[in-house]
Structure 1
Amino acid sequence: MTTADATGGDDTGAHAKPQGLEQVIGRQVRAYRQAAGLSVAEMAQVVGISKAMFSKIENAQTSCSLTTIGRLAAGLGVPVSALFRGLDADLEAVFTPAGHGARIVGRGTRVHHEYTLLGALRGAHKRMEASFVTLTEASEVFPLFQHAGTEFIYLLEGIIVYGHGNNSFTMRVGDALQFDGEAPHGPEELVELPIKFLSIIAYGELPEH
């Protein structure tokens, strides 16, 4: 998904960075070496290759044989698969510039709850939706929202009493609330306006068909 898909805008700030096998292995090797607190020379000795060769591997200046990859993994104390993490170039990301989120019409619109979509991820094993919510004098209280998944809200401005099931939470700036979205929930009292908060809903894995 591109920024244009999510927000209707351009992809300002997004830069494609193709990652070849050499670059991925080099980056992982360097990260594990630094985490171990060893120099290039020290790590090369542990792995059993020359310092020059080890340096070339870290800087993606050479291709590793399967034997060398196995020795690197053994020397670094990690599984071979760890050296290939990040190779998938098709991992999804959504970038939304300030003020460019798409306004959501639907949930809460009739009771004057303004939702601006900041991004959404959809996939075989993950679904997440992030929104910026604004409540004003026109917003109604006691709307009972219910949806699948887990919701996390973080209050950015104002004071609100937010209900979830039989519980009520008075939230001030900096407060966070995480809850099961299937229970009835929503604002019970708008104490100090305007009220603005970040809402993130994680739907988890999609059911198998």
Structure 2
Amino acid sequence: MATAHEEHDLPDREIDPSQARETANLEAVIARQVRKYRIAAGLSVGDMAARVGISKAMLSKIENAQTSCSLTTLGRLALGLDIPVTALFRGVDAEREAVYVPAGHGAQISRRGSRVGHHYELLGALRGPHKRMEAVLVTLTESSEVFPLFQHPGTELIYMLEGVMVYGHGEAHYTMRPGDALQLDGEGTHGPQELVELPIRFLSVTAFGDHPDE
């Protein structure tokens, strides 16, 4: 075991620059939120410090992102401002996954309907913490046939963009016009039943569960 003198002589641990940036960003967000809520409550720095039970100097450092708050202090600040603790973290930057597809650049994919003139353009697939989502732009033209019917896991949203069609789901039928939306259980047989006004374009967004059979 190192003595106190030896511990003093140990070199400082290097800090990961990215970790330092995240810490600084967090401190800045907390500083901004504390100041915003304090002013909204009509409290001076002195009043707020007294209410929370910390010194004016400490509160000033917090509001100027010059110190890191302990969990206890964060709890006191939230209690004094009558807000949830999570409100003090709103605005913290966090990398989130996203998929961007410029117009006309979606991947052309083949599905059962491709053989009967259905054109499918994949606009992206994204897996979140609990779900996988897939967005497809479907185009039907004069050469398209009504068939096929589909069945698949997940929940599907159909949003009509152009044209008119009768869309079936199980025993039900829906006349879809631009702006109409239909949400359905993918396990039920579904698909275009009648192509009323061509060309037809609609957006199909399907949310799947964690497992392929969900």
Tell me which interval the TM-score lies in, with the shorter structure as reference length.
0.7 to 0.9
2:60 equivalent to 1:52: yes
2:134 equivalent to 1:145: no
Are 1:151 and 1:201, in contact at CA under 8 Å, matched by a contact in 2? Answer: yes
Cα gap change, 1:33 to 1:150, in 2 (>3 Å):
farther
Give structure 2 stretches of 5+ with no counterpart: 1-19
Cα gap change, 1:124 to 1:66, in 2 (>3 Å):
closer
Cα gap change, 1:190 to 1:124, in 2 (>3 Å):
same
Could you tell me the TM-score, scaled by structure 1's length?
Answer: 0.72
> Aligned equivalents of 1:19 and 1:200: distance in 2?
37
Name the counterpart of 2:43: 42
Cα gap change, 1:24 to 1:203, in 2 (>3 Å):
farther
Cα gap change, 1:107 to 1:128, in 2 (>3 Å):
farther
Per chain length, whose mean CA-contact separation is higher, i.e. which structure has more relative contact order (CA < 8 Å, sep 6+)?
1
Cα gap change, 1:29 to 1:164, in 2 (>3 Å):
farther
> Aligned equivalents of 1:86 and 1:94: distance in 2?
22
> Aligned equivalents of 1:43 and 1:175: distance in 2?
53
Q: Root-mean-square deviation (CA), in Å?
A: 3.4
Name the counterpart of 1:101: 106
Name the counterpart of 1:23: 25
Give the percent of matched residue pairs that are identical in Structure 1 and Structure 2: 58
Q: Which has the larger radius of gyration?
A: 2
Name the counterpart of 1:154: 159
Q: Secondary structure at the match of 1:110?
A: helix
Write the letter of the residue equivalent to 2:63. Answer: S
Cα gap change, 1:189 to 1:33, in 2 (>3 Å):
farther
Q: Deviations over 1:144-167 (max 9, x none)?
A: 101000000111111111000000
> Aligned equivalents of 1:108 and 1:75: distance in 2?
61
Are 1:128 and 1:202, in contact at CA under 8 Å, matched by a contact in 2? Answer: yes
Write the letter of the residue equivalent to 2:139. Answer: T
> Aligned equivalents of 2:21 and 2:147: distance in 1?
49
Write the letter of the residue equivalent to 1:52. Answer: S
Give structure 1 stretches of 5+ with no counterpart: 1-17
Cα gap change, 1:43 to 1:142, in 2 (>3 Å):
farther
Higher alpha-carbon deviation: 155-164 or 36-45: 36-45
Q: How many residues align?
A: 187
2:126 equivalent to 1:121: yes
